[in-house]
Homo-oligomer: A and B are copies of this chain.
Amino acid sequence: MGDPHAIAKAFQEHYYSTFDSNRQALSGLYKDDAYLTFEGQTQQGCQAIMQKLSSLPFQQVKHHIASTDAQPSASGGLNVFVTGQILTEGESNPLKFSQMFHLAAQGSSFVITNDIFRLNYG
């Protein structure tokens, strides 16, 4: 595996720019049996995850990233931990969020096996 931080940074930039510009294209990033837990609600499977992400109550959204951390995982993959702010359409105040991903190696690339998202209210 290459440098965990470089991989995590490239993944983070790709993930959130795709989320903010063409959310449907995220389907290519999730493993078939991946998990998403979004604000406490868990979906399993790429199809269920895409349904959840498509049904979020906003169309326009912009993520601003404050930090990206990375660690090798026990299974030869990568843990990625992101904090930042999310600004959705019609809102003037961004909300803080944090999100973790586990990425598994697949050929020369990586796919998301685990994704947990939480807003940090306050």
Contact = CB atoms under 8 A, between A and B. Distances in A.
B100 A79 contact: yes
A114 B79 CA distance: 8
A11 interface: no
Interface size bracket, A side? 20 to 34
A96 B120 contact: yes
Contacts of A114: 71, 73-74, 79
Interface of A: 35, 37, 40, 42, 66-67, 69-75, 77, 79, 81, 83, 96, 98, 100, 102, 104, 113-114, 116, 118, 120-122
25 contacts: A37-B69, A37-B71, A40-B69, A42-B71, A67-B118, A69-B116, A73-B73, A73-B75, A73-B102, A74-B75, A74-B77, A74-B102, A74-B113, A74-B114, A75-B75, A81-B100, A83-B118, A83-B120, A96-B96, A98-B98, A98-B118, A98-B120, A100-B100, A120-B120, A122-B122
